[in-house]
Amino acid sequence: MPSRDRAVGVSWERGWALSVIVVGLAVALGPARPCAAAVVECASGDVACLIAAVNTANASGGANTIQLQPGTYSLRAPDNNTDGPNGLPSITSALTIVGAGVGTTIIERDPTAPDFRLLHVAATGLLKLERLTARGGRVTGMSSGGAGILNRGTAILSQSALTDCMTRGIDAGGGGGIVSVGRLVIAGSTVSHNSAGGFGGGLFTLGGLLTVVDSTISGNTGNLGGGLFIGGQMAIIIGSTIADNISTDGSGGGVFSQSPVAIINSTLTGNFTNFGGGGLADSGGGGIIINTTIANNDIPVGGEALFASSALAVYNTIVSGRQILGHPACFGRVTSLGNNLFSDSSCAVGLLSGDLSGDPRLGDFTDDGTPGHGFLPLLRRSPALNAGDAGACLPTDQRGHRRTAKGCDIGAIEGTRP
């Protein structure tokens, strides 16, 4: 491409990326909440109150809030059989369920109870879970999946955790944690240790927009897309950690995407798959990756970092993986927009003048427990230091630390200067 045309192309990509960021942040905040019709407070562990409050909210048609006191709300039997058995009534209106904290307020399927999903959001529903943990959902047999949440409307997970949910058997569907065919927002939250007999151990999107901001998707297992299977309208992932997920039968240890995806200021590491794309597998959806670190993922034969095509563009990004038995670190080749660091230069269709190749000199995985704060630090004398294009960097890195004004670092994290 002539230099002028290439400059125009890069400029267009930058503009598109900035537009994606703006849209993603707006969506992450969620729709404006109408004036609350009612606020109901439930005492610690009072499941009958919780179920009655959901039914009342549905009947009122307004925007209601349920305030849960600290405690464990153990669901012992399914309430209904909408898209399979559900522990709570299907959400058909605008409802916020607020806890006292992710470690103190828990909604769970009782371990001795029969199998059922925790939450179902109807096409007319808008559910926001805030400052609580939802855990232990189980789905078996013929089902639409989503042992934690099946969302057909809008679901927002804010400062919360969804964990230890499971779909049993391939007929039970995907999305061990979440299946979404509507709009799904995960903000300041954790989706972890879920498993699916089908696609998407952590979550499986089939439609609508997915936005993940300042969150962690970790320790999930699925047969295609260990952490996430993205099959919806598109996905925006900003300031997040996708780590230690496993794809058992297909590609995409961390992420499998067949829709456009934008990944910005994020880390994909420690993920495993048996076939192609330890970190990310892009099945033709394309998209853009900016200031992200993809490294230390695992696969038996090759393509540790990526399984992708030239429809996927990378910018200011570390793409690191081993060559295994003669197989490259990437299956397929991405398009470089410049200022990337590739451990294997064959990952890109062609290198630009600002691109680097070689060992990125990354430290051990570090995580302070805050959602989205798991990362691989840059060691001293890393070639990624000061090698990014500052014009493409956000003001802060994945952890919220300020980027260097002149020559930000390649990857998700600003490193330690010599």
CA separation for the pair 165, 374 (Å, rounded): 22
**What is the bridge-based pairing of β-strands 178-180 and 203-205?**
parallel
Residues 243-282: pLDDT tens digits?
Answer: 999 999 889 999 999 999 999 999 999 999 988 899 999 9
C-alpha–C-alpha distance, residues 286 and 334, integer Å: 9
Quickly count: other Cβ atoms within 10 Å of residue 5's Cβ: 9
Q: What is the pLDDT of residue 21?
A: 47
What are the pLDDT digits (tens) for 199-218? 999 999 998 999 999 999 99
Tokens of 236: 């925006």
Query: Does the structure show a pLDDT above 80 at 161?
Result: yes
Summarize the confidence of residues 321-329 as an average pLDDT.
78
Amino acid at 208: G
CA 177 to chain centre: 11
Burial 277-300 (b: 16+ CB within 10 A, else e): bbbbbbbebbbbbbbbbbbbbbbe
Flag whether pLDDT at 61 surpasses 50: yes
Burial class of 405 by CB neighbour count within 10 A (0 to 12, 13 to 18, 19+): exposed
418: confidence class by pLDDT, cuts 50, 70, 90: low
372 Cα distance to chain centroid: 10
Going by C-alpha positions, the residue among 307, 266, 258 that lies closest to residue 287 is 258
* Spatial distance between the Cα atoms of 292 and 177, rounded to a whole number of angstroms: 25
Beta bridge partners of 97: 66, 129
How many CB atoms within 10 Å of residue 400? 13
Quote the DSSP letter at residue 201: S
Q: Given this model, what pLDDT does residue 32 score?
A: 43
- Which residues, listed in sequence order, are joined to residue 257 by a DSSP beta bridge? 230, 282
Rounded mean pLDDT of 164-192? 92
* 79 pLDDT above the threshold of 60: yes
The one-letter code for the residue type at 322 is R
Beta-carbon contacts of residue 156 (< 8 Å; ≥ 6 apart) = 30, 126, 127, 128, 129, 184, 185, 187
Residue 417's pLDDT band, with cuts at 50, 70 and 90, is low
Residue type, 355: D
CB 195 within 8 A of CB 176: yes
pLDDT of residue 55 exceeding 70, the answer is yes
CB atoms within 10 A of CB 91: 27
How do residues 385-407 score in pLDDT, each as one tens digit?
999 999 999 999 999 999 987 78
Query: What is the 3-state secondary structure of 117-183?
Result: ECEEECCCCEEEEECCEEECCEEECCCCCCCCEEECCEEEEECCEEECCEEECHHHCCCCCEEECCE
Residues 337-387: pLDDT tens digits?
999 999 999 999 999 989 999 999 999 999 999 999 999 999 999 999 999
Confidence band, pLDDT 50/70/90 cuts, at residue 30: very low
* Sequence spans of domains, the chain: 31-207, 239-418
- Which value, to the nearest 10 degrees, does the dihedral of the CA atoms of residues 259, 262, 263, 268 take? 10
Inform me whether the pLDDT recorded for 232 exceeds 90.
no
**Residue 219 per-residue DSSP state:** S
pLDDT tens profile 291-308: 999 999 998 876 788 999
Average pLDDT, the chain: 90
